[in-house]
Structure 1
Amino acid sequence: MPRYMALLRGINVSGQKLIKMDKLRSIFEAMGYHRVITYIQSGNVIFDSEESAETARERIVQELLAQLNYDIPVIIRSLAEMHEIVEQTPYLTVDEEEGAQRYVTLLSQLPTDEAVVKLASFQNEVDEFRVMGLTVYMLIRKNYGETKFSNNFLEKKLGVTATTRNWQTMNKLIQLAEEGS
């Protein structure tokens, strides 16, 4: 049975769209998903399902709206896709002593070539990014809270829904998914 990660966008941020992880887990379990694990308050859910990723995503979005009364964008990646994302990073080494950090933005769909070219015009010396398919890899040399390349900025420039996680969270999700297998 496929193992998936549902990455919810914009929950538990600045007092908006609040949901406890035990409630989120119970919603997924009530939908018939198996071996459900939640990780940190930003809305990461690991689960098993025989459904396709797109079918699961549609059902989850509808159920969250029905249960919570607000629309929550959801991006789903399989365990295999998460491995590929981590393995394909263009930023293999990071000078953490200098404060550099890696972030990954997962896109809901492929952006247009025109949008990617437009986004490339915003590259700078402080932070950098690379768009590779459904993933934007970022190397942030200062503080993510100060970067121009926030999730909202990337969504607007690329014209697609997205959600961002730091490198540690990406790797922890893979670890938890494998431990729960």
Structure 2
Amino acid sequence: MALTRWVLLLRGVNVGGHGRLPMAELRAALVESGARNPRTLIQSGNAVFDHEETAAGPLAERVCAAVAARAGFAPAAMALEVGTLAAILDALPPGWPREETHVWVTAAPPPAPRLERLAALAAPGEAWRLEGRWLALHAPAGVGRSKFAPGAEAALGVPATARKASVLARLLDLAREG
């Protein structure tokens, strides 16, 4: 049986005292959902693993159910094949440093994103790009005071989770390690 290498991004895990999920519990939930060789990165619900499931949606549902059984809550989960994550990172404009760039990932491409709202949220000096199931923001001044960051998901119209591009690059490296 062939296995697919997946990157998993959970939304709202270990943020602001909510959604507490130790990474050892996440790894155990992944194993219970059929994952092999699960590895996690930092404490915010990032994982890499192999699985026989070949579709992102059903895989995310299985993982959410396993996390809910262990932790008592089911965070939104975005599953990406390693090649998809590599393509996202490769598509980022070359002048956008990864430490200054945040990427929102959705489960599916937003059917009706409010592009005018995204444009209105961007501050001077910020630039954004929406492609398929990801949205990137280059925020040289950071996202702490950005109006774009808290409004992005509503403008997309679908659940999303965001990570710094540098964290996504570290996940990709972890996935490629074997």
* TM-score w.r.t. length of structure 2: 0.91
Question: Is the counterpart of residue 171 in structure 1 residue 174 in structure 2?
Answer: no
Residues 27-106 of structure 1 mapped to structure 2, 5 A cutoff: 27-51=29-53, 52-90=55-93, 92-94=94-96, 101-106=100-105
**CA–CA distance in structure 2, aligned partners of residues 177 and 21 of structure 1:** 17
Other-structure match for 2:135:
136
Q: Which runs of 5+ in 2 are unaligned?
A: none
Aligned residues of 2:10 and 2:44 also touching (Cα < 8 A): yes
Q: Which amino acid aligns with 1:65?
A: A
C-alpha distance in structure 1 between counterparts of 2:96 and 2:153, whole Å: 25
Aligned equivalent of 2:26: 24
Structure 1 pair 120–79 and aligned structure 2 pair: CA distance change class (3 A): same
* Residue 107 (1) aligns with residue 112 (2): no
The Cα shift of 1:148 comes to 1.2
Match of 2:155 among 137, 154, 157: 157
Which amino acid is 2:156 matched to?
A: L
Distance 1:166 1:118 in 2: 22
Residue 113 of structure 1: how far off its partner (Å): 4.1
What CA deviation, in whole Å up to 9, does each residue of 1:7-60 have, x standing for no partner?
Answer: 000010111111111111111112221111010001101111111222111111
Q: What is the CA–CA distance in structure 2 between the aligned matches of 1:73 and 1:62, rounded to whole Å?
A: 10
Does residue 120 (structure 1) correspond to residue 119 (structure 2)? The answer is: yes
How far did residue 173 of structure 1 move?
A: 0.4
Q: What's 1:6 paired with?
A: 8
The structural deviation recorded for 1:123 is: 3.0
Matching residue's letter, 1:177: A
Deviation above 4 Å: which 4+ runs of structure 1?
none
Q: Percent identity?
A: 27
Q: TM-score, normalised by structure 1?
A: 0.89
SS of match in other structure, 1:121: helix
Question: Across the two proteins, how many residue pairs are aligned to each other?
Answer: 175
Cα RMSD, aligned residues only: 1.8
Secondary structure at the aligned position of 2:171 is classed as helix
Distance 1:81 1:114, change over 3 A: closer
Gaps of 5+ in 1: none
Q: 1:159 to 1:94 in 2, by over 3 A?
A: closer
Counterparts of 1:175 and 1:17 in 2: how far apart (Å)? 26
